[in-house]
Structure 1
Amino acid sequence: MKVLVTGATGFIGRLVVRHLREAGVELRLASRHPERLGSENETVPMPGFDAPAAAFLELTRHMTDVVHCAGLNNDRGNATEADYQAANVELSARLAHAAAAQISGRFIHLSSIRAVIGAHVSATIDEDTLPAPQCAYGRSKRESEITVLDAYASHGRSDAAVLRLPPVYGSGMRGNLATLMRLADTPLPLPTGALTGIRSLMSSEAAVRAVSHLLSHSGPLRPIYVGADVPPIALDAVIAAFRRGLGRPVRLMAVPAGLIRPVVAALGRRAFWDSLTATQICDPALLVSQGWTPEAGTLERLAELARLSRS
């Protein structure tokens, strides 16, 4: 087995690299910043979305499998719809067509639950959830899923799979979870009583184990998988866990949502607040049925993450 990992310097990509390297897998690492990858494995620059087809054929030549972590995440506040289309859709399509034409193994494409649901919508999410993305990032992730699976289908192949991830936590995380940790790092009481949302999260290590499972699983691949820790947890419990890890008193106050919304709206954070009141539960039953084990100690892991960030 020789695996191409794209986005090898990213939040999840670097952990995929470490896991596969420790398992003795031969790797080729592709990144926009190959100088950051060291000399332990073969490293190459990641072609741009508009690179010639020959560049993607060369990238995948002599590979058996691909783990595609590269892409533009939704923590880039100034990214446009065109930016997301280029980085997430067009790049994925070019890579998938090259891989389908010449690799013998699997193509694992990392996606997001934003491909099927908006940040403010309450729902339970599994592989059969009807996609209804509501932002430029989500639309690009859904289109990238389609392009990857269609590229493999056009070559008569079914060994590509999409792994949809909920918010992922771990060292180096960004987005709303990082914001919540910063909010938790204050001695003042926090008005979290109106945070009624329950969320599925996923540790970065569990996400990496899911990738490794899909690469090595002996049975045929399904086109879509959903990952998550179990069970889902309440958002006020997330903040409490962060506070414990940071050595802060928990000190959470029950404040009616009607009193909080005008304040957060005045601060320009209404969208952030609304995203924290939605309940989004991911069901990883398909992965579990195939032998993958989810993380079950989410709150303990969050507290430890906060403690390590302090140190």
Structure 2
Amino acid sequence: MTKIMLTGANGFVGSALKAELASDSGIHLVTVVRRGKASPDCVAVGNIDGGTDFSEALAGIDVVIHAAARAHIMRDEVDDPLAEYRNVNVEGTLNLARQAVAAGVRRFVFLSSIKVNGEATAPGNPFQADDMPSPEDPYGVSKLEAEQGLMLLAAESGMEMVIIRPPLVYGPGVKGNFASMIKLVDKGVPLPLGAIHNKRSLVGIDNLVNLIIHCINHPAAVNQVFLAGDGEDLSTTELLRGVGKAMRKPARLIPVPAGLLQCGAAVFGKRAIAQRLLGSLQVDISKTCELLVWKPPYTVEEGLRRCFERSN
């Protein structure tokens, strides 16, 4: 039996991963949360930073899956966002990893972010797993620094490292911009996004969980960086139509030229939002599929349908 420790077990990805791991009779799962009722298989450690004590949760653990993080915040109001991200995402991660080495953990699976690669791609020129990193915001910088520290620790200690970089993750209970988009389609609000020809990669929560679990024991995953994705790239227009189809409601889309929308966004100081709606961000998951002999179990259409079936 493989004994696994999962951090961030109450988060969006962590909760889905927890449910899947807990259903496997060959896995003994120990979850780590910041706060909550402790039990032999659930350990509350408080805030995660460079001083957090994980020793109780790490006893006898074979594999750590580190999904806890200070998540990306669109409008961060703290004085020094990079320092806040580093405190949790870098110092907290490396503190856990060093304790995992001391506890004899065999493998450490780190949930990173495509923001390590960058914020945008030219259509038809997707990010590759082994591209030179180019993060553009504090969150992406913190994830890159954590990755670099983990790889150094793996080289020094021999603990196996696996890094997974997902793009936008969708599924039941998703929050942020994707949730806002769902609400607008649900309410039948007309949207000026009917003529957008960008390309963006997504990953459904079921596909991401399947990939993470695939990396727990796969020998080819050792000390590798993998990009996650559904294997299908959609324009914003196609995605909105897909959401509407999954909800069985028409997406009311008005065909406004992307250039006009970009000009309007610049005038009103909404360049970042415009980039996410109008720009491209593609990932190439061929390394993930070939090296791990893996493919996403669900198409985007199936993932969206499962999302709303389980939300109702």
TM-score, normalization: structure 2? 0.89
Counterpart CA distance in 1 for 2:15 and 2:188 is 34
| Structure 2 match to 1:3 | 4
2:100 aligns with 99
Q: 1:150 — aligned with what?
A: 152
Alignment of 1:38-49 (within 5 A): 42-47=41-46, 48-49=48-49
**Preserved CA contact (<8 Å) 2:64 2:105:** no
* Letter aligned with residue 137 of structure 2: C
Q: C-alpha distance in 2, partners of 1:180/1:130?
A: 32
The 5 A counterparts of 1:147-296 are 147-155=149-157, 157=158, 159-219=160-220, 221-265=222-266, 268-289=269-290, 290-296=292-298
Structure 1 residue 241: deviation in Å? 1.4
Output the aligned Cα RMSD.
2.2
1:113 alignment partner AA = I
Structure 1 residue 182: Cα displacement:
2.4
Sequence identity percentage: 28
Report the 3-state secondary structure (helix = DSSP H, G, I; strand = E; otherwise coil) of the residue aligned with 1:200: strand
Q: 1:94 is aligned with what amino acid? A: N
Q: Which residue of 1 is the match for residue 17 of structure 2?
A: 16
| TM-fit CA distance, 1:298 | 0.1
Give the match's secondary structure for 1:138.
helix
Tell me by how many angstroms 1:160 deviates: 0.8
CA contact 2:70–2:88 (8 Å) conserved in 1: yes
Report the Cα distance in structure 1 between the residues aligned to 2:241 and 2:43, rounded to whole angstroms: 43
1:242, 1:306 within 8 Å by CA — same for their partners in 2? no
Shift of residue 253, structure 1, vs aligned partner = 2.2
CA-CA distance at 1:303 after TM superposition: 4.4
Q: Counterpart of 1:56?
A: 54
**CA deviation vs aligned residue, 1:219-270 (integer Å, no higher than 9, x gap):** 4514211111012122211101112233332332221123323444455433
Per-residue deviation, residues 17-49 of structure 1 (Å, max 9, x unmatched):
1111111211111011233x8x6x611113531
Distance 1:26 1:296, change over 3 A: closer
Q: Does 1:67 align with 2:69?
A: no
Counterpart secondary structure, 2:191: coil
1:79-109, Cα deviation, whole Å (9 max, x unpaired): 5211111110000010111112322421100
Letter of the 2:51 partner, please give it. A
**For the Cα contact (< 8 Å) 1:110–1:163, is it kept in 2?**
yes
Q: Gaps spanning 5+ residues in structure 1: where?
A: none
Q: Check the 8 A contact 2:186/2:247 in 1, yes or no.
A: yes
Q: Distance in 2 between matches of 1:135 and 1:173?
A: 22
Distance in 1 between residues matched to 2:254 and 2:221, nearest whole Å: 50
Change (3 A) 1:15 1:249: closer
Distance 2:189 2:19 in 1: 39
Q: CA deviation at 1:60?
A: 1.8
CA contact (8 A) 1:186 1:248 kept: no
Q: Aligned letter for 1:210?
A: L
Q: Secondary structure at the match of 1:71?
A: coil
Alignment of 1:120-131 (within 5 A): 120-122=120-122, 123-131=125-133
Note if contact 2:246-2:301 (Cα within 8 Å) is conserved in structure 1. no
How do residues 106-145 of structure 1 correspond to structure 2 at under 5 angstroms?
A: 106-118=107-119, 120-122=120-122, 123-145=125-147
Aligned residues: 303
Once residues 162 and 129 of structure 2 are traced to their aligned partners in structure 1, the CA distance between those partners, rounded to angstroms, is 12
Summarize the Cα distance change of 1:300–1:62 in structure 2 as closer, same or farther, 3 Å threshold: closer
Q: Which amino acid aligns with 2:256?
A: V
Match of 2:303 in 1: 301
SS in 1 for 2:31: strand
User: What do the CA deviations read for 1:255-303 (whole angstroms, capped 9, x no partner)?
Assistant: 1123323444455433111222222221222221222221442034224
